[in-house]
Amino acid sequence: MEPVVRTERLTKDYGAVLALDALTLDIGPGTTGLVGANGAGKSTFLKILLGLVPATGGRAEVLGHDVATEGAQVRAAVGYLPEHDCLPPDVSASDFVVHLGMMSGLPRVAARERAAEVLRHVGLAEERYRPMGGYSTGMKQKAKLAQALVHDPRLVLLDEPTNGLDPAARDEMLGLVRRIGHDFGIAVIVTSHLLGELERVSDHVVVLDGGTLLRASRTDEFLDATGALLVEVLGDDAQTRMADALAAAGVPVVRRGSLLSVDAADRGPRDVRDVVRDTAAELGLGLVRMQADHRHLEDVFADPSDAAVHDEPGVPRG
């Protein structure tokens, strides 16, 4: 499949800081999580893809367009959720999204219809006529997401969409991100410094460190590497009963706060996921969470043998 993003030795030297260091990477369709610590180069990478910041070396193509010479074509086909607050406080989300839709070339009536649609989709139906200055962080992030979608992009670049959100708002935003990719077939690149939340929504994960590629692989291969699942069950005495039943089934389990960390190393992820699911069902417990057990990037790379760059880039070329 054609990559949606292809970079070759892409470099950004800000002078004092080398933000991207000869980064060669292909990103395919589907949802790709771009993870890295503060300063890893995530935002710089997205801004270069949009043609907002020029690279100082190498090249990048988005949807077959060279970002250095065809920025307008790129931006017509790409939606962007910037990391920082960029919303005019006195303007309503409705007016804002309609305006950006028209700037992207939609006629006024079509822009109105489309804006109402995307605002409903992100869950801002009621509040969309209020000035955005009075919005909570969660509502602001939703308004930023709506404007990224208004012109029917083929690719959206979401820079830390969960930044500043409480757990409930974070889950809601991750649900929206997942639906953009899975239900609408739009390619998504989403950044975070938390690998744990990206692997819930991403088909592929790319790890940047100091402007270089640390690792790119399918999300489920990260699970293979760490070999543990984080499980949360609800019900009477749920964690203890679940832990006992899993141990009885021969699956090693350790408690982690109110959660269970289930060893998935020897069986392959499918198998252990099935065991967890069946065990919860047999005990009559609600299974509310099952995800790879490494919430922070540091956990993933705690074992140095794990930190090798993966053999192939995120998606095979060609």
Ligand X SMILES: Nc1ncnc2c1ncn2[C@@H]1O[C@H](COP(=O)(O)OP(=O)(O)OP(=O)(O)O)[C@@H](O)[C@H]1O
* Segment near ligand X (CB under 6 A); pick from 2-10, 12-20, 57-65, 248-256: 12-20
Q: Of ligand X, Mg ion, none, which one sits near residue 294, judging by CB under 5 to 8 A according to partner kind?
A: none
End-to-end CA distance of the chain: 6
Nearer to ligand X, 202 or 239 (CB): 202
CB of 175 to ligand X, least distance (A): 22
Site string for ligand X, 22-41 (x = CB under 6 A): --------------x-xxxx
d(CA 70, CA 40): 26
CB of 154 to ligand X, least distance (A): 23
**Whose CA is closest to 197, among 289, 90, 268?**
289
Q: Residue 44 interacts with ligand X (CB under 6 A)?
A: yes
d(CA 53, CA 43): 10
Nearer to ligand X, 21 or 61 (CB): 21
CB of 163 to Mg ion, least distance (A): 9
Contact 280, 242 (CB under 8 A): yes
What's the per-residue H, E or C state across 152-176? CCCEEEECCCCCCCCHHHHHHHHHH
CB of 142 to ligand X, least distance (A): 20
Q: Of Mg ion, ligand X, none, which one sits near residue 40, judging by CB under 5 to 8 A according to partner kind?
A: ligand X
- Half-sphere exposure for 173 (CA within 13 Å, toward CB): 29
Binding residues for ligand X, rule: CB under 6 A, are: 14, 17, 19, 36, 38-44, 83, 193
